[in-house]
Structure 1
Amino acid sequence: MTHNRVQAYYREQHADEPLVVRTPEDVDALIDALANGPEFENLAVLHSSERELLPSGFPDHEFMVGADGERQVGVLSFMDEKNFVSLGSSGSGGAEVSYFVVENPTEFPATAEIPLVLVRQAAKEFLSSGGRRPMCVQWQEPEVW
């Protein structure tokens, strides 16, 4: 069975050489690395090589996957023509939560946090769908982003 290819960035060395994700097992390894790795490297930026590039040479989309292993929750965002973030049932009680790509924070609405099992499922769907927005989770349009 063939799978699409996704490039992931969440550590400093990925700026020059992104992590390549090809299989559901690779997705699990990525989520595990985010959930159990350094506190300030718990968010990855993913791009599918199955989608067209913009005339500028940049991807026409961005899928972000965050994982908090201690609380077993995470966040998702998907950007192409519009911006979306995952929609959880309650949130962490605050107005915003931060996840980090190479120590750079990205703030999400607290309502964006979903169970880690759904984060895994969505990342696998992104991989297998050729880079489309996963439909296994609910989405919200953030007020500020």
Structure 2
Amino acid sequence: MTHNRVQAYYREQHADEPSAVRTPEDVDALIDALSAVPEFENLAVLHSSERELLPSGFPDHEFMVGADGKRQVGVLSFVDEKNFVSLGASGGNGGEVTYFVAGNPTEFPATAEIPLALVRQAAKEFLSSEGRRPTCVQWQEPEIW
């Protein structure tokens, strides 16, 4: 089975050399890496090379994958024509949760947290679907973005 190539950015060194994600095993390795590190490196930005670039040369989409290994939850966001974040079953205490790409914070609504197993499934679907928004999760349009 052939899988599409995805570029992932989640460490400072990825600014110059993104991490390649080509297989479901690569997705598992990415989620494991995000889950095992300090909280200031627990979010990745993914772009599929299967999608068209904008006239500016930048990707026409952004898929973010966050993982909190201690609590076994994570977050997702998908941006193309609209902004979406995952919709979890519970909202905790309301408010926001913060995940970090290479030390840079991104706030999500607390309702965006979903089980880590579902984060993995969604990232694998993104990989195999030519960069489309995963359908295995429910989505919401966030107010804070």
The question of a shared fold, defined as TM-score above 0.5 by the shorter chain, is answered with yes
Q: Match for 2:62: what amino acid?
A: E
Q: Deviations over 1:59-93 (max 9, x none)?
A: 00000000000000000000000000000011232
Counterpart in the other structure of 2:41 = 41
Shift of 1:38: 2.3
Task: Give aligned pairs, total.
Answer: 145
> Is the Cα contact below 8 Å between 1:92 and 1:113 reproduced in 2?
no
Q: Segments of 4+ in structure 1 off by > 6 A?
A: none
2:125 counterpart residue number: 125
TM-score normalized by structure 1? Answer: 0.99
Map 1:1-145 → 2, pairs under 5 A: 1-145=1-145
In structure 2, C-alpha distance between the alignment counterparts of 1:24 and 1:16, rounded to whole Å: 24
List runs of 5+ in structure 2 lacking aligned partners: none
How far apart are the structure 2 equivalents of 1:68 and 1:14? 20
Compare 69-78 and 34-43 and name the one that shifted more. Answer: 34-43
Separation of aligned partners in 1, 2:98 and 2:43: 9
> What code does the residue aligned with 1:87 have?
L
Identity %: 88
Partner Cα distance (2:124, 2:92) in 1: 25
